[in-house]
C-alpha cells in the first residue's frame, strides 16, 4: 500500500524512465520532482527515503551502481503496527502506544523484522527536514532501545509531547538536536538522569 505522495513519486519515477530510457540519479530525480509541480525538495535524502519506501514495498529494485533502479511489480509481506499522532500527550514505552495509538499502518516486515514492539509516529513541522523527515512523514520507532548512540535519531517525551531529534551525549548532558534549514529550531538539553524521556530509536522513515 502506497501513500498518496509515494504513489505520485512512483509515477514521476516511471515517467522519467520512460522519457530518458534510464533511471535518474538522486540529483536528477530531485530536479525532476521540482519541475513537475512537486514543490521544493528539502534534500537528496528526501529522495532517497522515497526510493527506500518503494524498495521495501517491492516496487523497485536497486543495484549498487549509478542509475541502478529497476521498476518491478513485486509484493512484500506486511504487518500492521500502531500509529501514534504527534498532537496528543506522550508517555513512554508500552504506555506510549496504548495511550496514544490512533490508527495502524501497514508496513513491510522487512522494516521491523528485528524490532519488537515497534510503532509508527507521525511527525509535524520542519525541525528535522535536513534529516529527510518532513511535515506529515511517519517514523518507525523501536521503544526503549538499549543501543542508542551519538548521531542516532530518537523519539523523546519532552513537556508531554513527542519530539524527534538527533541524540548526543556529553558527560551528564543529553542534547536533542534539530536538523533543520529553519534556524528557529533550537537544541533541547536534558540531564542524564532524565534519560527515561527517550522513548526509543528511529529505525526507519516513511515518507508521506
Q: What is the CATH number of domain 4-71?
A: 1.10.10.10
Which range has the worst mean pLDDT, 9-18, 72-81, 194-203? 72-81
* Contact of 206 with 120, CB cutoff 8 Å: yes
Q: Give catalytic status of residue 166 as yes or no.
A: no
Are 96 and 90 in contact by the 8 Å Cβ rule? The answer is yes
Domain boundaries, the chain: 4-71, 78-206
For residue 105, name the pLDDT band (cuts at 50, 70, 90).
confident
* Distance between CA atoms of residues 56 and 53, nearest Å: 5
Mean pLDDT of 8-28: 90
Q: Which of 30, 165, 166, 201 is catalytic?
A: 165
* Residue 165 annotated among the catalytic residues of the structure: yes
Q: Among residues 46, 127, 145, 204, which one is catalytic?
A: 127
In 32-170 the beta strands, taken as DSSP E runs, fall at 60-62, 69-71, 78-85, 101-108, 119-122, 138-143, 153-158, 161-170
Looking at domain 78-206, what is its CATH homologous superfamily?
Answer: Umud Fragment, subunit A (2.10.109.10)
Q: Which candidate, 1, 149, 167, places its Cα nearest to that of 75?
A: 1
* CB contact at 8 A, 126 and 111: no
What is the reported pTM?
0.66
Residue 85: strand pairing partners = 122
pLDDT in tens, 139-185: 888 887 677 899 999 998 887 788 899 999 999 999 999 999 999 99
Asked whether this chain's domains 4-71 and 78-206 adopt the same fold, the reply is no
Amino acid at each position: 500500500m502506497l501513500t498518496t505522495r509515494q504513489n505520485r513519486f512512483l509515477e514521476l519515477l516511471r515517467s522519467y524512465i520512460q522519457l530518458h530510457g534510464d533511471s535518474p540519479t538522486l540529483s536528477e530525480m530531485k530536479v525532476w520532482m521540482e519541475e513537475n509541480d512537486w514543490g521544493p525538495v528539502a534534500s537528496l535524502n528526501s529522495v532517497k527515503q522515497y526510493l527506500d519506501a518503494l524498495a521495501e514495498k517491492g516496487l523497485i529494485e536497486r543495484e549498487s551502481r549509478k542509475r541502478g533502479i529497476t521498476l518491478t511489480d513485486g509484493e512484500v509481506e506486511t504487518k500492521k503496527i500502531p500509529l501514534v499522532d504527534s498532537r496528543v500527550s506522550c508517555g513512554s514505552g508500552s504506555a506510549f502506544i496504548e495511550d496514544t495509538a490512533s490508527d495502524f499502518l501497514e508496513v513491510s516486515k522487512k522494516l521491523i523484522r528485528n524490532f519488537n514492539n515497534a510503532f509508527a509516529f507521525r511527525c509535524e513541522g520542519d525541525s528535522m527536514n535536513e534529516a529527510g523527515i518532513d511535515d506529515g512523514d511517519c517514523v518507525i520507532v523501536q521503544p526503549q532501545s538499549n543501543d542508542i548512540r551519538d548521531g542516532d535519531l530518537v523519539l523523546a517525551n519532552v513537556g508531554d509531547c513527542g519530539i524527534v531529534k538527533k541524540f548526543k551525549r556529553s558527560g551528564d548532558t543529553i542534547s536533542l538536536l534539530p536538523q533543520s534549514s529553519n534556524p528557529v529550531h533550537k537544541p533541547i538539553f536534558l540531564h542524564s538522569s532524565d534519560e527515561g524521556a527517550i522513548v526509543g530509536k528511529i529505525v526507519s522513515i516513511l515518507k508521506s
